[in-house]
Structure 1
Amino acid sequence: MATIAFFPEAAYGPALNSVGIAQACEALGHKATFITAGDMAGTYAEYGFPEHIVTMAPPMGADELAQYWQTFINGHIPNFNKTPYEQVGTYVRDCWDAIVDTAVWAQKDLPRVLDAVKPDLICVDNVILFPAIKHYGKPWVRIISCSENEIPDPDIPPHLSGCAEGDKPGFAAFEAHFNAVIGPIHARFNDFLRENGEEPYPLGQFFEASPYLNILLYPEAVRFRRREPLDPGRFQYLEGSVRQDKPYVVPAFAANAGKPLIYVSFGSLGSGDTPVLKRLIAALGAMPVRALVNVGAYIDEYEAPPPNVVLGKWFPQPSVIPQVDAVIHHGGNNTFTECLYFGKPAIIMPYVWDGHDNAQRVDETGHGIKMHRASWSPDALAHNVHRLLTDEAMAARLAKASAAMQAAHGPSTAARRLDALLNGTPA
């Protein structure tokens, strides 16, 4: 039995993808444990895994930390309506600045945590290098839980760009703008790398591929065609990483019994945009459907919903999505891959980060529909919901994707590759 440490980014998408892989590792007899920032404490314990807290920010109380992130998101809500190109100078810039700070702070404490955990293998799901991981002396694996374009290629859109697959002029424009805006932040990160015995990265790069193994969660149905194929010895594609979660019983609705069921979630960050969610709730209230709507921690800001809508602070998505007919979401990679895994059509209304890439990809491959998160009419939304429920060609594509993903079972594939790496055997 080996100890496998998972170190996901402090966000629910990477966190819960790693839970799925950790569950499969334990099924093979290994011990999985989690290294986490303090604001995600309890997330992994809920699934029965040990947690080890690493300091990744200046010390704050729980209330102060919650207020910090609420202020951060509320301050950026006006930027959610901007294009991916426009967001580089606002949300994306501020995020990268904060991400570099987390790496700097983690370097102060991560060696202590690794010495306490004593892992035989470390799996890190983040967009930035933590030098302590490389220096620990054990194999480390990079997990890419967002769009596969985190590993760049000349023929695929740049990460975070939301570009169409063939839009080469768009690729060039986005990359030039990104590098110009992020340049000072990247220079600060390179100084940090030099201070910790690492070679600086080329402009725009904040992480590297692992020499041991890299796990990409993007499924075959939406995968890009690369000019330079990835070495299967070092790069393992999964068909998603859907975790086992607690059962969910669909509640009785006061109206529209037996009508199609829609699930709506903008994730933990997007739930802060209550005006858009309230518009969605009102629009769905006028349709011949039922709807489960995840409003996160902001549930007290809502009045009684229409009788065909049920609100919740949180839903166990892998147990909910199989029971619904369609999904409306923000394009986070968990919900994106779960919809494909269960063969459910989706409207993606992206607001930031890789949601733009996932929305574009689901639309151009015919597995769902991309819509602007705020610039829509109730009629347009109703038209697209109807299309999700009636488009037979889309349903056939989703059924094919679902069958392939469920047959492959990504977490088990990842666990087998990790087991082979630990044992020095062929995968």
Structure 2
Amino acid sequence: MRLLVTFVGGLGHLAPLLPLARAARAAGHEVAIAGSGGLVPRIQNAGFTAFATSPMVHHDPAPPSQTRKPLEVMDARAATIEFADNFAERGARRMALAMPDVIRAFRPDLVLRDETDLGTTIAAELLDVPVATHLVLAAGLLIRPELVAPRLDALRAEHGLPPDPALTRLTSGLVLTDAAPSFRSPKSPLPMRPTPYNSFDTPRASARADRPGIYVTLGTIFNHASGDLFERLLAGLADLDVDVVATVGEGTDPADLGPQPTHVRVERFLPQREVLPAVDLVISHGGSGSLMATLAHGLPSLLLPLGADQPHNGMRAVELGVAATLDAATVTSEEVGARARELLADEAVRARCVAVADEWRELPGPSVAVAALEGAAS
């Protein structure tokens, strides 16, 4: 099988696809990945043929040090509108134009797109190539048909395709998810029945150490426009009897946050697989990648959504009782410390998180997803 994996956006859209791409390659299939030009080196370093669908400067890593932009916070409604503008308009147009040449060059038997890559469905339809979808939005509430369909229909018309007001091209065919099935909201406006699998190699939750650990992260994109949020978060944890590790991103110098207590460690980047097994609570923006990795380890979250899918993820996490949320724009350091202390002591929240992790751990591995891809290609 010749499998072409596609994504639009940054690392948060590529990363969820890599475990399955590796599994397909290990099974003897030829795999290529097409997406943002700035991530081409990362794709190539992972050993895959890469096709850039945007200039190579797009989503380039941040320079060694840069000034953080003022804090930007977007609510759930504004995030759905921004998604429609960015992904159903600009992103879809870019992929619809770039992907026909990529498909002709690679000649895939199947295209596997991330669910926010809307334009590739148009290119694949034009060239009569089957498409499978990989979910990357944890709660599944960001894509609103009433906002997305008119924009996509205008683009479809430009390519000589009939309208698709029900977005059937986005929901038909094989759908895969590498996430806990129970987290996807039943209120998702796009009806999908994904095939779940598990690529996370996580230990079962064990008894907590005498001194708890907290991990603080704002992801790889939203940390660039976080204003003084890191400072408020770390100040709120400074007086707690905990060990804190925070990652601020490649573009921020940890020294910019000022001197920290001895129990607070600040780094540009650390692999989450190394950090999460050693902590008891994660404080984050609620991005799908960060939140799903947290739940895979059976850990509760304190979420401060900033935009994109994060407000919806926060609402779903609270609904399931696996997290608490605070307003990033107004939260004080005192509120951060108090809420973190409460979550660390809440055994009921911890038990619900462990239950989600156990549900996830019982799912079959990537080989099941690879077999499903083989079936879709044939």
Sort the TM-score into its range (normalised by shorter chain): 0.7 to 0.9
Question: How far apart in 2 are the matches of 1:381 and 1:403?
Answer: 28
Q: 1:210 deviation in Å? A: 4.6
Q: 1:308 deviation in Å? A: 1.6
Q: 1:275 to 1:392 in 2, by over 3 A?
A: same
* TM-score (structure 2 length as normaliser): 0.84
Q: One-letter code of the match for 2:16?
A: N
Question: How far apart in 2 are the matches of 1:274 and 1:3?
Answer: 44
Question: Are residue 351 (structure 1) and residue 306 (structure 2) matched?
Answer: yes
Question: Are residue 135 (structure 1) and residue 126 (structure 2) matched?
Answer: yes
Q: SS where residue 286 of structure 2 aligns?
A: coil
Q: One-letter code of the match for 2:51?
A: H
Q: 1:290 deviation in Å? A: 1.4
Deviates more, 1:298-307 or 1:382-391: 298-307
Q: 1:121 to 1:265 in 2, by over 3 A?
A: same
Alignment of 1:293-372 (within 5 A): 293-300=246-253, 301-372=256-327
Q: Which residue of 2 is the match for residue 224 of structure 1? A: 185
Q: Which residue of 1 is the match for residue 153 of structure 2? A: 190
Question: How far apart in 1 are the matches of 2:103 and 2:115?
Answer: 17
Question: How far apart in 1 are the matches of 2:176 and 2:223?
Answer: 29
Question: Are residue 103 (structure 1) and residue 55 (structure 2) matched?
Answer: no
Question: How far apart in 1 are the matches of 2:4 and 2:273?
Answer: 24
Q: One-letter code of the match for 2:194?
A: Q
Question: Are residue 146 (structure 1) and residue 137 (structure 2) matched?
Answer: yes
Identity %: 23
Question: How far apart in 2 are the matches of 1:268 and 1:229?
Answer: 27
Q: 1:39 to 1:221 in 2, by over 3 A?
A: same
Q: Which residue of 1 is the match for residue 354 of structure 2? A: 399
Q: One-letter code of the match for 1:264?
A: V
* 2:218 counterpart (251, 266, 290): 266
Question: How far apart in 2 are the matches of 1:218 and 1:13?
Answer: 14
Q: Which residue of 1 is the match for residue 239 of structure 2? A: 286
Q: One-letter code of the match for 1:129?
A: G
Question: How far apart in 2 are the matches of 1:400 and 1:407?
Answer: 11
Question: How far apart in 1 are the matches of 2:59 and 2:308?
Answer: 26
Instruction: Mark the runs of 5 or more structure 1 residues left unpaired by the alignment.
Output: 150-157, 161-174, 245-256
Q: Cα deviations across residues 48-102 of structure 1 (Å, max 9, x unaligned)?
A: 32212123xxx575799969xx99x947x44x0x5323x35xxx54553333223
Residue 6 of structure 1 contacts residue 123 of structure 1 at CA under 8 Å; is this kept in 2? yes
Q: SS where residue 244 of structure 2 aligns?
A: strand
Runs of 4 or more above 4 Å deviation: 59-67, 92-95, 185-189, 226-231
Q: Which residue of 1 is the match for residue 32 of structure 2? A: 33
Q: 1:97 to 1:209 in 2, by over 3 A?
A: closer
Q: Which residue of 1 is the match for residue 102 of structure 2? A: 113
Alignment of 1:28-107 (within 5 A): 28-55=27-54, 74=69, 77-78=71-72, 80=73, 82-85=74-77, 87=78, 93-99=81-87, 100-107=89-96
Question: How far apart in 1 are the matches of 2:291 and 2:59?
Answer: 31
Q: SS where residue 296 of structure 1 aligns?
A: coil
Q: 1:271 deviation in Å? A: 0.8
Q: One-letter code of the match for 2:362?
A: A
- The CA RMSD over aligned residues, in Å, is 3.3
Question: Are residue 159 (structure 1) and residue 142 (structure 2) matched?
Answer: yes
Question: How far apart in 1 are the matches of 2:2 and 2:109?
Answer: 5
Residue-pair matches, total: 364
Q: 1:212 deviation in Å? A: 2.3
Q: Which residue of 2 is the match for residue 154 of structure 1? A: none
Q: Which residue of 2 is the match for residue 408 of structure 1? A: 363
Q: One-letter code of the match for 2:217?
A: S
Structure number with higher relative contact order (C-alpha < 8 Å, ≥ 6 residues apart): 2
* TM-score (structure 1 length as normaliser): 0.75
Residue 271 of structure 1 contacts residue 294 of structure 1 at CA under 8 Å; is this kept in 2? no
Q: Which residue of 1 is the match for residue 206 of structure 2? A: none
Q: One-letter code of the match for 2:2?
A: T
Alignment of 1:2-41 (within 5 A): 2-41=1-40
Q: Cα deviations across residues 20-50 of structure 1 (Å, max 9, x unaligned)?
A: 2112222322232211221222222333322
Question: How far apart in 1 are the matches of 2:329 and 2:163?
Answer: 40
Q: One-letter code of the match for 1:295?
A: V
Q: 1:223 to 1:126 in 2, by over 3 A?
A: closer
Q: Cα deviations across residues 211-233 of structure 1 (Å, max 9, x unaligned)?
A: 321224452333434699957xx
Question: How far apart in 1 are the matches of 2:162 and 2:359?
Answer: 41
Instruction: Mark the runs of 5 or more structure 2 residues left unpaired by the alignment.
Output: 203-208
